[in-house]
Amino acid sequence: MKNGIKIGCLLSVLLITGLNLVNAQVQKKRSAILMGGRFDITIVAKDTATANNYIDTVIAEIKRIEYLISDWIPATQISQVNQNAGIQPVKVDREVFELTQRAIAFSELTGGAFDISFAAMDRIWKFDGSMAAMPSPDAVKKSVEKVGYKRIILDSAASTIFLPEKGMKIGYGAIGEGYAADKCKLLMRSKGIEAGIVNATGDMSLWGRQLNGKPWNIGITNPFNHTNVYAVLPVKEEAVTTSGSYEKFVEFDGIRYAHIINPVTGYPATGLTSVTILGESTEVANCLSTSIMVLGPEKGLLLLAKFPGYSSIMISDKGKVITSPNFKRKKIRKIL
């Protein structure tokens, strides 16, 4: 899930090329269901036992974060915040408080295109093929009555979060996955692991290089042919996230409505079918890709200009490719 909402994650295809075991190193990969989605963890280490041990460490760290911020596990701190909406503030760990602070700051920056209080939104849009007509304007308006990041009350001194109205909820979705991916990368770096990938259901934190010394190769899914990739990007030390509508959408009167919902209006995003962001932080890249899907290319590029360390590739519903001015097209190795 992504704020705004990314209910189904779009996997950027991971392509790992020709392994060459140098310096007796090995590369190990394992998948696990964590935070409600699939994580693929790749570690380059001196031997198999070490690689597997650090994959276990990464999984344990993700589980630790999951049991702080997942809104579908009743005992987590965020579930406690939601259960106490309209009742009382809830004290949370400092890292949860600071993640919430950053999310609200990003909400301000995007004018609400990103909003962690989207979790309270009524699920009136169906992307399983069952919708036969647009919901009424009244139903759409009602669906976002409990949404609004400006109503969230934070007390830094007490480290508390308070939702002042019954029915309000917060949920971190894929921003939480991005945060977890970033934390795991830092953890592995601190333990001397110089190369690896944490792929959080398509949102990736990458560092170092493959065993053969070459950058990791990341494929961007072709939104009009899901079995193929649009481009392959060599990545060494970046986060890569993709938001899009090509897996879950509805179409009325020739307009495609994405499963990513505008938290302000209650209507699905239109105009873009895929947004890929490259930059330092998976958390920030995730916020940007989701927000730009909601804002559209013009406002999206204005937002991205405030983050000079991040670049983007956007693909419109009509197949037009739009790149940010700082995107290095020479990075594209092939287009299929």
pLDDT digits (tens, 9 = 90+) for 195-251: 999 999 889 999 999 988 889 998 888 888 877 888 888 888 899 999 887 777 788
Per the CB < 8 A criterion, the answer to whether 144 and 121 are in contact is yes
Question: Which strand (E) or helix (H) includes residue 61?
Answer: helix 48-69
Question: Cα-flanking dihedrals φ and ψ of residue 233, to 5°?
Answer: -115, 130
Mark the ranges of the chain whose per-residue pLDDT is less than 70.
1-24, 329-336
Supply the pLDDT for residue 162. 98
Query: CA-to-CA distance for 253 and 135, rounded, in angstroms?
Result: 14
Tell me the pTM. 0.88
- How confident is the model at residue 10, as a pLDDT? 41
| Domains of the chain and CATH, by start | 14-68+174-335 (3.10.520.10), 77-172 (1.10.3980.10)
- Three-state SS letters, 285-309: HHHHHHHHHHHCHHHHHHHHCCCCC
Give the model's pLDDT for residue 228. Answer: 81
Among left, alpha and beta (phi > 0; psi -120 to 50; other), residue 270 is beta
pLDDT at res. 23: 54
